Amino acid sequence: MEKKQKTKPHIIMKEHGIPNAFEYDNLLHLNDDWSIDKFKETFQINIVNESENKCELEFDLIGCSCALANTYRRILLSEVPSMAIEKVYMLNNTSLIQDEVLAHRLGLLPLKADPRLFEYPSKIVNEEEEVSDQDTLRYEIKAVCKWNSQAPKDSRRPDDIYTGNNVYSRDIKWVPIGKQSELYPQGEKQFSMIADDILICKMRPNQEIHAFMHAVKGIGKDHAKFSPVATATYRLLPNIQIVKPIRGEMAERFKNCFSPGVIELVEISKGTVEAKVKDARYDSCSRNVFRHDDLKDCVQLGRIPDHFIFTIESVGALPSSVLFIEAVKVLKEKCKTFIEELDNID
């Protein structure tokens, strides 16, 4: 494995182009000697970093083409389901925000609900048909702004002279449907908003908002509010090779050409330092080194064509690692469907 890593081909990044672009293009496609067994041997997933709240995940996809990496990215954005407010029933809205604008804001609030606990909503023909506790979550918001009778005499701050003037996401309460209170004993903690301090609107005395909301299961392909991730991105692993020793003042300038932490200065003798590659992973591939005539021939920049740095940032309903597993399940079902279609061809 050590020898393979050293001789692995990489994309060469010159000052004004990529000289081996054609070879790079071939590396992304399946060649004649490709097999599923060979793919299993070379394919790897390495977890690099995961945040404490498990909402941010960074891992490596090694030994695959960009087609597979992009497939996971697109599925995460548009086909992994989540719960979001779909319908808003306005009972009273005397605030300055129009009903449709307020409903749009409510629909974009991220919910903590786990979509795996619910089914997709059925197509309701009659709008008055009762919703099911298996596919719908009901919420209520009731906010009223009043004068603060205990406000300081000299204060002019709205937060001092009014009460309930700011309507936040914490003002939305879960209302159980059917047997949901028995099925989900955690209740409000399990189905509350992701964040309590999301500002919905501002009001003034005698203004009121009272509405009921229905949240259902959906996918980002139908509406962006159903997307479970804030972002899902990937990039190729940078490759930096120093071909000539870079020392002294040149080493300082060389270090400043790259992102922090990429290049380190090692003292080789008293008062003399030499530039070494510390971690090429976090290089932005800006090619700033080519601006210096005395440095551009000392280094070769590139990227590994089958090594992807994948980053997932979850909205918060499910951990990023769980979302990636759900994306794999979606792709697996798509492959099964495609194989069945091929088998049914006459």
pLDDT of residue 3: 38
The answer to whether domain 2-79+231-243+298-310 and domain 82-227 are alike in fold is no
pLDDT at position 274, please?
92
Q: To which H or E segment does residue 162 belong? A: strand 162-163
Listed by start position, the domains of the chain span 2-79+231-243+298-310, 82-227
User: What integer pLDDT is reported at residue 124 of this predicted model?
Assistant: 57
Angle 304-306-310 (CA atoms, 0-180°, nearest 5)? 95
Contact yes or no for 274/266 (Cβ under 8 A): yes
Q: What is the pLDDT of residue 122?
A: 80
Distance from C-alpha of 309 to C-alpha of 292, rounded to nearest angstrom: 29
Contact in structure between 285 and 162 (CB atoms under 8 Å): no
Q: Give the number of residues written for the chain.
A: 346
Taking alpha carbons only, the member of 50, 55, 72 closest to residue 315 is 55
Instruction: Find the mean pLDDT for residues 310-320.
Output: 95
Do the bridges between strand 263-269 and strand 272-277 make them parallel or antiparallel, or are there none, so unpaired? antiparallel
CATH label, 82-227, candidates 3.30.930.10, 2.170.120.12, 3.30.1360.200, 2.60.260.20 = 2.170.120.12
Query: How does DSSP classify residue 119?
Result: P
Kindly tell me if the per-residue pLDDT of 250 is higher than 80. Answer: yes
| Calpha distance 290→16 (Å, rounded) | 9
CATH 3.30.1360.10 fits 2-79+231-243+298-310, yes or no: yes
Please tell me the distance from the alpha carbon of residue 75 to that of residue 81, in angstroms, as a whole number.
Answer: 10
Alpha helices for 163-282 (secondary structure H): 180-183, 188-191, 249-256
Q: What is residue 137's three-state secondary structure?
A: strand
Dist. CA 310–CA 132, nearest whole Å? 38
The tens digit of pLDDT for each residue in 263-272 reads: 999 988 888 8
Question: Could you give the angle at the alpha carbon of 272 between the alpha carbons of 270 and 274, nearest 5°?
Answer: 135
Tell me if 208 sits within 8 A of 165, measured CB to CB: no
With a threshold of 0.75, does the pTM exceed it?
Answer: yes
**Residue 229: pLDDT above 70?**
yes
Distance CA 296, CA 277 (A): 15
> How much is the pLDDT for 34?
72
Q: Which of 229, 273, 275 is nearest to 248 (CA)?
A: 273
